[in-house]
Amino acid sequence: MNLCDIGYVKRLMSRHQTGTKKSFGQNFLINKQVPEAIAEASYSYHLSRGQKKSLVVEIGPGIGCLTYELAGCYDKVIAIEIDKTLLPILDETLGEFDNVEIINNDFLKMNLEEFFGAYREEYDISVCANLPYYITTPIIMALLEKARGMLTSITVMVQKEVADRLCATTKKGDYGAITASIAYYGEAKKLFDVSPDNFLPAPKVTSSVVRIELYDKPKYKVNDEQMLFKTIQGAFSQRRKTLLNSLGTSLGNISKERLGEIIAELGFDASVRGEKLDISDFCALSDKLGEEK
């Protein structure tokens, strides 16, 4: 059984009277080497860091081609699928594995603290997914914010343009709020690109696989995390404007004159833009801004 064989995939979908759904952003892989490489990228990091049994949570397994590869590596696989019409297909394609559990749910509506918390004592937990483009950022941020301290890594295939933003460095045009936010929790690394002809149906853009390697303990100290992320969002709310003007608009409780003084105190010129600040700069800036309450 080759879950990436285009003929097999079409026959499988036809037999179960279903197909890919644009509403769920479904694109199924038809090159076996891709899910193999994604699973290896995820599991190899667990091997370098893990001390307990291995658990991987997959978001959106589709017909199970990546799940199949993950099941051959990890001690336990939990795949969360929103499309209930795919459940009979997954029962068929993954029936040989006793270490796979399928949950029919909307990942973004789950209580992630409770879900991951139930496994954290027994397992080192990874997340691996081929994410629908339209919900990439909400899923990644939900994992970082609600499952912090419970995950070792997040390995995802996303749109290349998004991957470039996730992994950007300061002073680069791709660097933005999501980049700085991820840097607070871990280090994002772009591993490889995947061309459109590897999917059914073929998307109009290239995809990339990114692994976010999460810190065991917080690397950066900040007085108020809520203020930190408010500062980051404010800094990029108007990208063509300076940091001073962007924050001046988003932080109405601090005068523009005082904002300028704070920026200068941190060693930055008044014309600096948000993309020039790394996460440690944002932590220092948010602490200063928090003192102005």
Sign of CA dihedral 242, 245, 249, 253: positive
pLDDT higher than threshold 80 for residue 252: no
Q: Could you tell me where the DSSP H helices lie in 120-176?
A: 136-146, 160-166
Q: Could you tell me the two tokens for 26? A: 């479904």
Rounded average pLDDT over 75-90? 94
Predicted confidence at residue 6, as pLDDT, reads 84
Phi and psi of 241, rounded to 5°? -100, 165
Q: Which CATH architecture has domain 6-214?
A: 3-Layer(aba) Sandwich (3.40)
DSSP 3-state of 245: helix
Residue 211, number of CB atoms within 10 A of its CB = 23
Averaged pLDDT, 46-57: 94
pLDDT score, position 22 = 54
| Position with higher pLDDT, 15 vs 181 | 181
Query: CA nearest 3: which of 101, 125, 106, 86?
Result: 86
pLDDT band at 277 (very low <50, low <70, confident <90, very high): very high
**pLDDT greater at residue 1 or residue 102:** 102
Phi, psi of 214 (to 5 degrees): -90, 145
How many angstroms separate the CA atoms of 196 and 112, rounded? 32
The per-type count for the chain, helices as H runs and strands as E runs, is 12, 9
- Does a cis peptide bond (omega within 30 degrees of 0) precede residue 61? no
Reported confidence tier of residue 164, pLDDT bands at 50, 70, 90? very high
Tell me if 126 sits within 8 A of 49, measured CB to CB. Answer: no
- Per domain, the residue ranges of the chain are 6-214, 225-290
Q: What is the pLDDT of residue 180?
A: 96
Stretch 159-167: mean pLDDT: 94
pLDDT reported for residue 116: 98
The second-level CATH assignment, the architecture, of 225-290 is Orthogonal Bundle (1.10)
Q: Find out whether 173 and 1 touch, Cβ atoms under 8 Å.
A: no
CA 42 to chain centre: 13
Report residue 20's pLDDT band, with 50, 70 and 90 as the boundaries: low
The pLDDT of residue 25 is 52
pLDDT tier at 24 (50, 70, 90 boundaries)? Answer: low
Amino acid letter, 85 = T
**Res. 37 pLDDT band, cuts 50 70 90:** very high
Judge whether 6-214 and 225-290 match in fold.
no
Instruction: Kindly state the average pLDDT of the residues 121-141.
Output: 92
Q: Residue 240: which pLDDT band, with cuts at 50, 70 and 90?
A: confident
pLDDT-derived band at 253 (thresholds 50, 70, 90) equals confident
3-class DSSP state of 207 = strand
Per-residue confidence band for 14, with pLDDT thresholds at 50, 70 and 90: confident
- Fill in the amino acid letter for 100: V
Query: Which amino acid, residue 179?
Result: T
Per-residue pLDDT, averaged over 31-51, amounts to: 95
What's the rounded Cα separation, in Å, for the pair 16 and 159? 29
Q: How far is residue 125's CA from residue 52's CA, in Å, rounded to a whole number?
A: 9
